[in-house]
Amino acid sequence: MPFMSFFSMYNKSFIYVFLSRLMIGALFTLQFLLASCAMDDAVSEPSPFVPTVQRQPTYEVEKVMDVVYGYGYGYHAELDSTIETALMLDIYRPTGITSPRPVYMFLHGGGFVGGAKSNENIKAMGEYFASRGWVFLSIDYRTTAHIGQDVSKLAPQEWINMALQNIEENRSAQFIAMYMAQRDAKAAMRWTMANDEQLSID
């Protein structure tokens, strides 16, 4: 009898655990199905606050040029000196829209040697995307054109030493400009995030 009693208690415990786990599994399954239904509803009926863009030019474009997003040291040819220089960007945005818009941050190419936001093709890109509902930011950043004889303020000394000692002579300035450019890109990103409401971006 004691053995049978123990066996009966064991069976009851096993059945209790089994049913409990089965119920928990059923609840998780139900929760998953409900969540899936909710996701389907969200897809079929998008929120009015979700930014939308157009395939065709739809909006007039407002342009704000040469907005200062930060400062960095650079060579000034007229002064023949390395001084603090304003870093600028251009804003292209659709007019007549108050809801938050998607933002397109564009940094021109040029291998850290050249390039500028004033390029006509880049201006055309700004017009293209802004007319379809985007806020387009065209970023200028420092290149080798901003490097003079004094490079001490342009990058950490370790970076400068590596550029001067381990990089080919005709590429050392490009290597230093690489550091400057990535710093400027981060500054532009911080400026954009700090001014998201003013820019009406999502």
Distance separating alpha carbons of residues 150 and 153, to the nearest angstrom: 8
Distance separating alpha carbons of residues 179 and 74, to the nearest angstrom: 13
Q: What is the pLDDT of residues 146-163, one digit of tens each?
A: 999 999 999 999 999 998
Structure tokens belonging to residue 78: 């007229």
Q: What is the pLDDT of residues 46-81, one digit of tens each?
A: 555 566 788 899 999 999 999 999 999 999 988 899
Residue 6: the pLDDT is 43
Residue 169: the pLDDT is 74
Query: How many other β-carbons are positioned within 10 Å of the β-carbon of residue 171?
Result: 14
What is the model's pTM? 0.73
- 177 Ramachandran zone, left/alpha/beta (phi>0; psi -120 to 50): alpha
Residue 33: the pLDDT is 47
Distance separating alpha carbons of residues 64 and 48, to the nearest angstrom: 28
Structure tokens belonging to residue 144: 């080798």
Per-residue DSSP letters for 125-169? HHHHHHTTT-EEEEE----GGG--S--TTTS-HHHHHHHHHHS-G
Residue 165: the pLDDT is 87
b/e per residue, 38-71, with b = 16+ CB within 10 A? Answer: eeeeeeeeeeeeebeeeeeeebebeeeeeeebbe
Distance separating alpha carbons of residues 190 and 54, to the nearest angstrom: 27
Residue 7: the pLDDT is 42
**Which residues of the chain are modeled with pLDDT < 70?**
1-51
